[in-house]
Amino acid sequence: MARPRGQGEKTKELIAEKAKIIFEQKGYAGTSMEDIREFSEISKGSIYYHFKSKEELFLYTVEKTSEVWRTKWEDHANKVETATEKLYLLAKYYASDMQNPLSHAVPEYMATENIDKVLKNKLFDLIKPEYEVFYQIIDEGMCRKEFKSNQSPDDLAYILYSTLTGLSITQFVGYSDKQFLMLYQSAIDVFLKGILKDSTP
């Protein structure tokens, strides 16, 4: 017997919502479908009806989280004018977002051995919208003559994206929330101004 569409979607979203909490608490590898079943109080049959595997369920939670991230970012970005302001705002937004435990589970998932290639490619597709935010800001800055245009905006976007995502590791070396935020702001300083001493007399 077919399930009512509205009810089915509500169940799917509830499963994803509960699974997100477990993934945040235990990480990808440490979470089992049984954990999700117990926490959600939804039968395994119903869970597998909506999601064929833990991988598929995890990627669905990442997709939904990414959609929320992008929507919130666009709301923030509309409040500033220049590309430079957007970069500093993006750093602050990223610092806040990196304290979201699900962000830590994504690199863990990507490092998992024998991961399904199709699902791994899907994860890259889910991450791409975040990279595009970096690209759009840098490209905008070049077009408005805020930034030099002698380098590929594509390369610069990857460099900055990798820098900000990589900085999340500092959460585990004793940085306070304030230091963590300042580090992200400093990353933009270095990206824009560099560390080479000006030798101009």
Whether residue 143 lies inside any domain: the answer is yes
Residue 133 lies in a domain: yes
d(CA 175, CA 160): 21
CATH of residue 162's domain is: 1.10.357.10
76 occurs within a structural domain: yes
Q: How many CB atoms lie within 10 A of CB 36?
A: 23
Report d(CA 87, CA 49) in Å as an integer.
42
What's residue 82's pLDDT? 97
Looking at the 3D structure of the chain, how many domains does it have? Answer: 1
Give pairs for 49-57: CB < 8 Å, separation 24+.
Answer: 49/3, 50/8, 50/11, 50/12, 50/15, 51/12, 51/15, 53/116, 54/28, 55/109, 55/115, 55/116, 55/119, 56/119, 57/15, 57/16, 57/19, 57/33
Read off the tokens for 200: 């101009």
Look at residue 31 and tell me if it is in a domain. Answer: no
Give residue 113's domain range: 61-193
Which residues touch 50 (CB under 8 Å, ≥6 apart)?
8, 11, 12, 15
175 within some domain: yes
Position 188 in a domain = yes
pLDDT at 119: 67
- pLDDT score, position 63: 86
CB contact at 8 A, 31 and 23: yes
Going from the first residue of the chain to its last (201 residues), give the mean pLDDT of each consecutive group of 10, the final group possibly shorter. 66 95 91 95 95 92 86 91 96 80 74 68 78 94 94 94 84 79 94 80 54
| CB-based burial label for 201 (10 Å; 0-12, 13-18, 19+) | exposed
pLDDT value of residue 1 = 43
Q: Is residue 49 part of a domain?
A: no
Q: What is the pTM of this model?
A: 0.78
Dihedral (Cα; 27, 50, 16, 8), 10-degree rounding: -170
Residue 155 lies in a domain: yes
